[in-house]
Amino acid sequence: MIYWPLKDPNRTIKNYYYKCEDNFLNAEECQFLIRFGKSLPMQQGVVSVAYNNDDYVVDESIRKANISWLEPSPQTEWIYKKVQSSIEHVNSNYFNLDLEFLEALQFSEYTEDQSFFGKHLDVNTKMVSNCIRKLSFTVQLSEEHSYTGGDLITHSNSSGNIMTRTQGSIIFFPSHVLHEVTPVTQGTRHSLVGWVYGKPLR
């Protein structure tokens, strides 16, 4: 695993369940990432067996999607820089979390064969360098009306919050917030997801 170091953010006092930036990427940048993500070795998405455990399995009753990993490289340096800048901005202005490093970015493909990701917490993973996932984000790469279903829903309240489908938007939420991607019934949904780590209880 390769980590992209983060600068220490200038923290303030607000704490939000989620934050969205609609114009994070333009259409051309989204299409580049879709092509690049699909050109990498694709694999079925896995789920962790238990907290703080190295075991991961394919379980299509929980998650059905294909993924690839965009490791830092000369071809991806630009997206890591944009993501890092956005993380620093939203964290200092909204979340006020103690963050240390960013995990490699994951490209996700949800196809019309009912691909989905059931309700889950991103924080429920093994610790890395004595850190846990604290801030999650999703970048919407597909055009809003190019697929049916495939809604990202956060469950910070009883009714749930349907997140924006605007192409090029980036959505942040704490990794302990319950969320899901509903089944895609038509078309294909592409996204870029990532997680930022920090020390527990800080």
Pairing of strands 170-174, 4-5: unpaired
Identity (one letter) of the amino acid at 170?
I
At 67, is the secondary structure helix, strand, or coil?
strand
> Containing domain of residue 87, as a range?
4-198
At 111, is the secondary structure helix, strand, or coil?
coil
Its pTM stands at 0.89
Query: Which pLDDT belongs to residue 16?
Result: 62
pLDDT tier for residue 14 given thresholds of 50, 70 and 90: very low
In this predicted model, what pLDDT tens digit does every residue of 166-202 receive, in sequence order? 999 999 999 999 999 999 999 999 999 999 999 987 5
Do 100 and 135 touch, CB atoms closer than 8 A? no
Average pLDDT, the chain: 89
Q: How many domains does the chain have?
A: 1
Q: Which ranges of the chain would DSSP assign to H, the alpha helix?
A: 27-39, 77-90
**CATH number of the domain bearing residue 22:** 2.60.120.620
In this predicted model, what pLDDT tens digit does every residue of 37-59 receive, in sequence order? 999 999 999 987 765 566 789 98
Q: Name 162's bridge partners.
A: 153
The mean pLDDT value for 90-117 works out to 95
1 versus 75: which is more confidently predicted? Answer: 75
Taking the C-alpha atoms of residue 141 and residue 121, their distance in angstroms, rounded to an integer, is 22
